[in-house]
Amino acid sequence: MNMKSKLPPSPPSIFSKMSALAKEHNAINLGQGFPDFDCDSRLKNLIKKYLDEGHNQYCPMAGTIELRTTIANKIKVCYDKTIDPEKEICITAGATQALNTAIQTFVQPDDEVIIIEPAYDSYRPSIEMAGGRVIAYRITAPDYTIDWDQFGELISERTAMIIINTPHNPTGTTLKETDLLALQTLIANKDIILLSDEVYEHLIYDQAHHQSVFRFPKLYQQSLATFSFGKTLHATGWKLGYIVGPPHLMEAYKNHHQWVIFSANSFVQRGIADYLQEPTTYQQLPEFFQKKRDYLTAGMSHTDFRPLNCNGTYFQLYDYSEVSDLGDLEFAEYMTKEMGVASIPLSPFYGEDPQDKVVRLCFAKSEEVLDKAIERLSRK
């Protein structure tokens, strides 16, 4: 029998590989991108309330109207943008599903999709499953900035979509107003959709403001933006997110979404809708995570690892060139086995290895865990 998959066989992801290695060697795992602390007990109690009340059946395909209305209000508070909860919002089974469904909806065979590498690892296979062709624009250490004139040279008649991610995983950089305005000019009057991955929207530091597509009315008309409750609520395992876009794009999106999952779980949506009525639940996140970033940075200042700028996310990049000459994959393995701390190398986020000597550490951990990691990395 000759049964063909749309994707060639692939090895386990770098996250699975490094987590398994960390477990094998009893290393502190600063590779995996999730908190080691629990979410708010009030949120859990709200979700349990709706579970106990029997909200166990299908909810509307686009999500409960209560949660969509709460999201619309949240967008108004954060970005002064009015969103129609009926026509412009869809609740998804996590942001990765939202991204994949958007790509499957709008990318046709042989279409080109521009991504910015290093890129979240689901983008490329999702594009390939749709029959699209990945066009990569590479950003590299130490600043990971975009030259929009060079970027514009990648746009062709076959370009159907551009994917951006801000704050950016894995680099921790953020796009500025000038970046979004440049992108807006590049795609104006073109049949190009901007897929904006904004899952770390509230994890942005040093008094900066997240530059969402919501702040740019013309750009928004060509955009779909994805978000993650897992990142905002310290509950990545719940796999609940949402996607927002203008009605003419969301109508097509929801037509595909209904045949993928139909609807996400109902009782968690209801609990989150209640919980997010109070804006402080997400407005306090920048200060909360900046303290963790700064705590790790201060502790690591006594090592030979050198931090790169981290403007957002809960990831901090470190240049290890004064520690080792190994390539990043080999060094990440060495760190895990010999230094007792697991990290994530950046080369797997690229189509071609840039040869940068940089690894990623997650600081969404307790101070006790960060202290242990710092102590191990301080050893000569």
Position 139 scores a pLDDT of: 97
Locate all alpha helices (DSSP H) within 228-322, ordered by sequence.
Answer: 229-232, 247-260, 266-275, 280-283, 285-300
Please tell me the total count of domains within the chain: 2
pTM exceeds 0.85: yes
How many Å apart are CA 213 and CA 227, to the nearest integer? 12
Same domain, 249 and 374: no
Q: How far is CA 365 from CA 14, 31, 147, 369, in A?
A: 20, 11, 34, 6
Which pLDDT value is given to residue 8? 80
Residues 266 and 156 occupy one common structural domain:
yes
CATH number for 369: 3.90.1150.10
| Domain extent for 302 | 14-33+283-378
State which amino acid sits at residue 374.
Answer: I
For residue 85, being part of any structural domain is answered with: yes
- Checking if the pLDDT of 1 tops 80, the result is no
Verify that 252 and 310 share a domain, yes or no.
no
Instruction: With respect to residue 87, please indicate whether it lies within any of the assigned structural domains.
Output: yes
Are 118 and 245 contained in the same domain?
yes
* 313 and 246 inside one domain: no
Distance (Å) of CA 262 to CA 90, 122, 353: 11, 21, 39
**318, 357 contact by CB (below 8 A):** no
CA-based nearest residue to 21, from 264, 341, 265: 341
Query: How much of the chain exceeds pLDDT 70, in percent?
Result: 100
Neighbouring residues of 317: CB distance < 8 A, sequence distance ≥ 6: 141, 170, 171, 172, 307, 308, 310, 346, 358, 359, 360, 361
In a domain, 92, yes or no: yes
Dump pLDDT digits (tens) for 143-158.
Answer: 999 999 999 999 999 9
What pLDDT, on a 0 to 100 scale, did the predictor assign at position 3?
78
Distance between CA atoms of 114 and 81, rounded to whole angstroms? 27
* CB distance 138 to 350 below 8 Å: yes
Domain boundary among 246, 277, 308: 277
What whole-number distance in Å separates Cα of residue 125 and Cα of residue 357?
26
64 and 189 in a single domain? The answer is yes
Same domain, 102 and 231: yes
pLDDT above 90 as % of the chain: 95
Q: Which residues, at least 6 apart from 126, have a Cβ–Cβ distance to it below 8 Å?
A: 99, 100, 103, 104
Q: Is the pLDDT of residue 346 over 90?
A: yes
Q: What is the pLDDT of residues 214-263, one digit of tens each?
A: 999 999 999 999 999 999 999 999 999 999 999 999 999 999 999 999 99
Domain's final residue, options 277, 307, 332: 277
H/E run at residue 78 = helix 65-79
For residue 380, what pLDDT is reported? 54
Contact 125, 99 (CB under 8 A): no
How confident is the model over 295-300, as a mean pLDDT? 98
238, part of any domain: yes
Question: Do 356 and 229 have their domain in common?
Answer: no
223 with 352, same domain: the answer is no
- Based on the fold, state whether residues 294 and 269 are members of the same structural domain: no
Packed helices 41-52 and 266-275: angle between N→C axes, nearest 10 degrees: 140
Both tokens assigned to 377: 């990395």
**Residue 8 domain flag:** no
